[in-house]
Homo-oligomer: A and B are copies of this chain.
């Protein structure tokens, strides 16, 4: 359970935690109606988004969670969640900021997950898998805890593919002897770029079958991710 050789410096790890915490709190602050959260709930989502990726990574790797070996991770995630709440109060529409932060966070967690797995000696396929789980795991936990449809499972904008591509590029570069830090930076850039471009150009994966196409488009649009609070009950 000692990891003397692990390459991610604390400041980089804490940056990912902080960005995840801000993003989570911004996301959670946006809910109204039945899904509205109190301050503790917003803080929990911030902490889940800041710490979840690292926890899932270390559970999969079978090592004691490194985010719990120091006071700094939780203090950073909590402070970031508070900052996220304040920012949510200052700005009316933060959708672009949330999407951009989200893209960067999945890039960072994916790269750190795959790097750590490679350093611990995992084969390349599981190392990519651990990175993808670390990247998208926080968001899955968030959606489950908030009772939302799990975003990555529904016809969406290449969310998981972006993480997969970045982690695969990282692992491939590492296999060809590229320095791991450089490989990780390239991996972050790949994931973040794909994710942002997917949102900008509204790209989706093909559905597994092309039947009922028109009907699905209507129904997908009808998924009530956030119920408008002005909606009449009856």
A204–B38 contact, CB under 8 A? Answer: yes
Which of B58, B73, B206, B219 is in CB contact (< 8 Å) with A33? B219
Query: Complex: how many Å from CA A125 to CA B129?
Result: 30
Contacts A69-B123, A123-B70, A147-B150 given; indicate if A216 touches B40 (C-beta within 8 A).
Answer: no
- Cα A182 to Cα B138 in complex, Å, equals 37
Q: Which of A186-234 contact B (CB under 8 A)?
A: 204-209, 212, 215-216, 219-220, 222-223, 229, 233
Whether A216 contacts B123 by the Cβ 8 Å rule is no
Of B62, B154, B212, which contacts A229 at CB under 8 A?
B212
Q: Which of A10-18, A93-101, A104-112, A155-163 contacts B (4 or more CB under 8 A)?
A: A155-163
Give every chain B residue within 8 A of A42 (Cβ-Cβ).
208
**A7: interface (CB < 8 Å):** no
We find that the number of chain A residues with CB closer than 8 angstroms to chain B is 70
Q: Which one, B37, B122, B145, B156, contacts A38 given CB within 8 A?
A: B156
B contact residues around A144 at 8 Å (CB): 144-145
Docked-complex contact A38 and B205, CB < 8 angstroms: yes
**Distance to closest chain B CB from A55 (angstroms):** 7
Measured CA separation A103–B199 after assembly (Å): 41
- A89-B206 Cα distance, complex, nearest whole Å: 14
The yes or no answer to A175 lying at the interface (CB within 8 A) is: no
Interface 1/0 per residue, A10-39 and B, CB below 8 Å: 000000000000000000010011101111
Sample of 18 more A-B contacts, CB < 8 Å, known A33-B216, A74-B126: A1-B62, A36-B154, A37-B153, A37-B155, A39-B206, A40-B152, A41-B152, A44-B152, A55-B60, A60-B65, A61-B64, A62-B64, A68-B122, A68-B129, A68-B130, A71-B124, A145-B150, A219-B229
